[in-house]
Amino acid sequence: MKKIVTGTFVAIFLALGLTLIPAIPALAADPVLGISGTVTDKDTVKPVAGANVQVSCDGTLVFSSTTDSDGTYSVPADSLVKCQVGGDLTITASKDDKSDVYTSTSMGDVNIIDLTLKEHINVPEYSWLGAIFAGSIAIGAAMFIRRRTANIV
């Protein structure tokens, strides 16, 4: 009788254990939370209504919206399901000629992200290189002309 009770107990224990094993990773995974925040203007320090907000995970756009009249935005959790833990999260807010970008590689750590719009002056890199190159040529030419003039006298 002891063997039957022990055998039955082991069978029930194994059956329950095997049915719970697939649920263990789901219990261990961090829940995906939604993200919300307020977009403000750096100069006026006031909320910005109608700012474009885009959320990307690993370079793929997963959500796009505009801020409410009080400058707030909200990204529902189901929009972030495709974001992997440890993946790159990018939130971009923009309006007119102002923008701000938030980036993180730790999805799930923060669910309130405020952004501050500021002006950006985009100066192409080649304009600086061109100025340096042109300046070097001008200095070289001036030195050459001075040396030629000195040899003539």
Q: How far is CA 89 from CA 2, 52, 94, 125, 145, in A?
A: 59, 17, 17, 27, 57
pLDDT tens for the chain, 153 residues: list them.
555 555 555 555 555 555 544 444 444 445 567 899 999 999 999 999 999 999 998 899 999 999 999 999 999 988 887 777 667 889 999 999 999 999 887 666 568 899 999 997 665 655 555 556 656 666 665 555 555 555 555
In 3-state terms, what secondary structure has residue 134? helix
Distance CA 107, CA 62 (A): 14
Distance CA 132, CA 140 (A): 12
pTM of the model: 0.59
Distance CA 131, CA 51 (A): 36
DSSP 122: -
